[in-house]
Chains A and B, each alone.
Chain A
Amino acid sequence: MADNTVNLTIDDKAVVAPKGMNLIEAAKLVGIEIPHYCYHPKLCIAGNCRMCLVDVGMPKLGADRKPEIGSDGKMVVMFGPKLVIGCNTTVADGMVVLTKSPKVVKAREGVMEFLLINHPLDCPICDQAGECRLQEFSVDYGKAESRFVEEKVHKPKKTALNAKITLDDERCILCSRCIRFMRDVAGQDCLGFIQRGSHSTLTCYLGNEPKTNYDLNIVDICPVGALTSNDFRFQQRVWFLKQTKSICPNCATGCNTVIWSREDVVYRQTPRDNNDVNQCWMCDYGRINYKFINDPHRLTTPSVKSATLGQRVNLTWPEAIRQVVDKLRAAKRDSLAVIGSARATTEELYLLKKFSPSFAAYIPRVGTGDNFLLNTDRNPNAAGAMLTGFSSDYSVIADGIADGKIKTLIVLGEDAIVPELLAKLELLIVLDILPGKTTEAAHYILPGVTFAEKSGTFINAKNRIQRLNPAIPPLVGTKPEHLILSALLAELGGKRYATIQEVFADMTRDVPALAGLNLSKIGDSGVEVKS
């Protein structure tokens, strides 16, 4: 027994747990689920749902203060007169925990029954169905038949907690997770229970609604459908959705996310656990900012601004590549600049840099931050841009265009240079996803993809390289940027990369900070790199 661990038994399984751990976490270590509602690893203990009741015993100590051995050769264990809640019980040496004894089974059935007697029959219209812990624990631990024949308690349904969240008080099981979150994590003490007893109702004071950038996290932590996101309301049943692990592209924190999609449409994003980045939270701004992925105005075909026709002409991809390559070959290398976006992946920036070693810049993006997750640096990959050799000062390029030194510009996903300057360029090639001033001015548009449609990496403000995974395939007609860029480079005499892994491999050679890494090693939690 080390100094900082404790030996105990849970359901006849030997467990070695760190000191101070509670029984719910200790049971998880050996794959045993202790069902719970109000407990949350990142919030203070409430102990009010009573779902995690377990039978706990300690060895009976004899007069010599050593454990007594019974006639069967086993340690005599004294169980408490009552069950105790697992969330508030700390592991102790010699502790014996039963999570499936008849007493515990009956207690769970009792608690489930109590939770359901006043619960509305909303499953068919409730968003939480499919990820609802009331449903899951009812089937796993509760009785299958109801014996409640009285009138249920009625409370306000479908009230607007704020513009983003709908509150249904009848579904609420009064676990108080949302109250604790708003008060202790989001920093706005605005939720509470009014009335008493069975009529207790969750509410907020009129005029003092949740107003933080983290409100939607309470929808995540609500175990039932009492708090639902208006953005996702009635959009999709969750069992139809595919979950893809990704990273939020809205600021340099790089919260770990899950993208939920079905048949090429993204329906919502939720945070993913990563104790080194965002614990299990994300901000509302990043969470809601995904609608552009399925925006009907997405660019879906390469095109060229035809001088003769005076309008834009669509091209096939092979034709577009061919024309762009021809034009790039004709262009002088030292008058070629690239503007990369720090919202692009490191791999894309690495390839883009190859076009112009001397004039490469990204566009910094600054916004208000808070002291929690939202970073003032609104680019997810400024670190990646800098590592791959992009300067944060694009005025050099702007000036270069103004005095005619720079005649060719490749822009990846930015809209920063003013149209008057862009008009001076001889050749403007733009890779982007949505139309803007730059695409309007572009000679060639090569439509790219959003963060949800590609693999790649971002490096966050704490120098953590994290991996994107594609949730949906590239929109028809678009291509992931690294494929576009590597096709161009290959035609210009460079290496032909077939996969992103190959790009990454080369990148690790050329960027010392990334040496020894590959996309597998980055995994789901990312890896810290040296700056």
Chain B
Amino acid sequence: MATEHQIELMESAARAQEAGDELRGERMIINMGPQHPSTHGVLRLVLELDGEEIINVWPDIGFLHRGDEKLAENMTWTQFIPYTDRLDYLAPLANNVAYAYAVEKLLGLEVPPRCQYIRVVCAELARISSHLLGIGTFGMDVGAITVFLYTFKEREKIYDLCECLCGARFTTSYTRIGGLANDMPPEFLPMLRKFLAELPATIAEVDTLLTRNKIFLDRTRDIGVLTKEQAVDFGITGPILRATGIEWDLRKAHPYGGYEKFDFDVPVGSVGDCYDRYLCRMEEMRQSIRIIQQAIDNMPGGAWNAPEAKIVLPEKKAVLTKMEELIHHFINVTEGLNAPSGEVYFSAENPKGELGFYIVSRGGGTPHRLKIRAPSFVNLQALPVMAKGHMISDLVAILASLDFVMGECDR
């Protein structure tokens, strides 16, 4: 909550003061959220308003805090994977992938090419899914309700793809340490190809509806501007950072998981306003389609799990009929795989920004400390700077353009 602040006299307030006592306005402190259709999740904002104008905004987070990082200390590496689904729950596959790579970095384990490519497909699908939602809700928040329906129709197809791939629409828990839960089923690739064929049309439709729409432009241009310096100071990552004009994408800057083999562009904005952020996300979706297409066209065959029999669970048939496999399955599941002691940090370019895992291991099957660098947590810091001086209705647009997820922010 706000403590004593210096109250700056804004222009309107000055005018009001000039106008005399009749128009002398009081600063209002009102509460927005945690339950609010436009706060994108359980976010509470304390607004200090002068009429319509935002003097200050204090985000009050923590309503979705579930103690993930502490929970991680009491469970095995593999048991934590479902918890990663629930971080950025709009792109669960991307979180699964990032966590798997982080633990594999600790173990010094390389996954085979097929696994890498499948994970790339997953991460990009997650990006598309997340941006579709971000743009859809953005449109809806500023009044373009139809856009929401169009994007969600495509998202539904992504959920169907997830269900085909790993059995769950939403909480995928698809990756495993050293590989994947299962290989792509034979129905998956045809389904994916069909989806990729249909998606550009929807993106084009959304583009037509929004990009040159006067109302949309008025609502978003020069609203919520974030400068490059501010972005770097706050540690912003993801589309928000790139919208300010800084070309920084972890898939290009520190390639991981085979991304160096793919041909794609990184959209960069110039102004850093809501409109730029919208444009970045739209273009990222188009680039993701490119990446997925390359991945499925060049999908390697072979194993989809690392050949590390002490890390990866043996196949079920062997577990039920062979002694060593039964024992290894048993110990792997009950005590966790034996990680070496050490510390690693691994981060991935998630739809919302840089999702990082800082893992401290003291050896054994459970982490000693698992710190999650959540992009939404960092990005949300910039909200006060971006919102100051704007009106409440602009705040809605700014929040939508930040596209954060409280699950990730609060953990």
> Would you call B323 and A135 a contact (CB within 8 A)?
no
**Inter-chain contacts of B335 with A (CB < 8 A):** 239
> Would you call A145 and B330 a contact (CB within 8 A)?
no
**Inter-chain contacts of B334 with A (CB < 8 A):** 129-130, 239
Alpha-carbon distance A139/B323, docked complex (angstroms)? 12
Residue A1 at the chain B interface, CB threshold 8 Å: no
Residue A476 at the chain B interface, CB threshold 8 Å: no
**Inter-chain contacts of A129 with B (CB < 8 A):** 330, 334
Which of A89-97, A117-125, A206-214 contacts its partner? Answer: A117-125
Alpha-carbon distance A121/B330, docked complex (angstroms)? 11
Give B319's nearest chain A residue, CB to CB.
A121
> Would you call B324 and A135 a contact (CB within 8 A)?
no
Residue B310 at the chain A interface, CB threshold 8 Å: yes
Alpha-carbon distance A145/B324, docked complex (angstroms)? 6
> Would you call B331 and A116 a contact (CB within 8 A)?
no
Residue A496 at the chain B interface, CB threshold 8 Å: no
Give A136's nearest chain B residue, CB to CB.
B331
Among A142-158, those with CB < 8 Å from B are: 142-146, 148
Residue B204 at the chain A interface, CB threshold 8 Å: no
Give A152's nearest chain B residue, CB to CB.
B323
B45: shortest Cβ distance to chain A, in Å? Answer: 43
Residue B320 at the chain A interface, CB threshold 8 Å: yes
**Inter-chain contacts of A134 with B (CB < 8 A):** 327
User: How many A-B Cβ pairs are below 8 Å?
Assistant: 58
**Inter-chain contacts of B3 with A (CB < 8 A):** none
> Would you call A138 and B324 a contact (CB within 8 A)?
yes
Contact with A along B323-354 (1 / 0, CB 8 A): 11111101110110010000000000000000
Main secondary structure of the interface of A (DSSP, over half): helix
> Would you call A123 and B326 a contact (CB within 8 A)?
yes
> Would you call B325 and A146 a contact (CB within 8 A)?
yes
In this complex, how many residues of chain A approach chain B with their Cβ under 8 Å: the count is: 22
Give A134's nearest chain B residue, CB to CB.
B327
Alpha-carbon distance A306/B35, docked complex (angstroms)? 58
A97: shortest Cβ distance to chain B, in Å? Answer: 23
Among A44-101, those with CB < 8 Å from B are: none
B365: shortest Cβ distance to chain A, in Å? Answer: 10
Quick one: given A129-B330, A139-B310, A144-B314, are A121 and B324 in contact (CB under 8 Å)?
no
Quick one: given A139-B310, A139-B338, are A148 and B331 in contact (CB under 8 Å)?
no
Residue B6 at the chain A interface, CB threshold 8 Å: no
Alpha-carbon distance A138/B325, docked complex (angstroms)? 10
Alpha-carbon distance A14/B334, docked complex (angstroms)? 36
Alpha-carbon distance A266/B320, docked complex (angstroms)? 33
Residue B184 at the chain A interface, CB threshold 8 Å: no
A39: shortest Cβ distance to chain B, in Å? Answer: 22
- Which of A117, A135, A148, A239 contacts B327, CB < 8 Å? A135
Quick one: given A139-B328, A144-B314, A145-B309, are A116 and B323 in contact (CB under 8 Å)?
yes
Quick one: given A123-B330, A135-B331, A139-B331, are A146 and B320 in contact (CB under 8 Å)?
no
> Would you call B324 and A123 a contact (CB within 8 A)?
no
Residue B208 at the chain A interface, CB threshold 8 Å: no
Contact with A along B304-323 (1 / 0, CB 8 A): 00000110001000101111
> Would you call B325 and A145 a contact (CB within 8 A)?
yes
> Would you call B324 and A146 a contact (CB within 8 A)?
yes
Quick one: given A139-B338, A144-B309, A144-B314, are A121 and B323 in contact (CB under 8 Å)?
yes
Alpha-carbon distance A209/B181, docked complex (angstroms)? 50
> Would you call B309 and A146 a contact (CB within 8 A)?
no
A54: shortest Cβ distance to chain B, in Å? Answer: 22
Among A381-416, those with CB < 8 Å from B are: none
**Inter-chain contacts of B324 with A (CB < 8 A):** 113, 116, 138, 142-146
Report 28 cross-chain contacts, Cβ distance below 8 Å, ordered by A residue.
A113-B324, A116-B323, A116-B327, A119-B323, A121-B320, A121-B326, A123-B326, A123-B330, A124-B330, A134-B327, A135-B327, A136-B331, A138-B324, A138-B327, A138-B331, A139-B327, A139-B328, A139-B331, A140-B338, A143-B324, A144-B310, A144-B314, A144-B324, A145-B309, A145-B318, A145-B324, A145-B325, A146-B323
A-B residue pairs, 6 tightest by C-beta: A144-B309, A146-B322, A146-B324, A116-B323, A138-B327, A139-B331
Known: A123-B326, A134-B327, A139-B310. 9 other contacts (CB 8 A): A123-B327, A124-B330, A135-B327, A138-B324, A138-B328, A142-B324, A143-B324, A146-B323, A146-B324
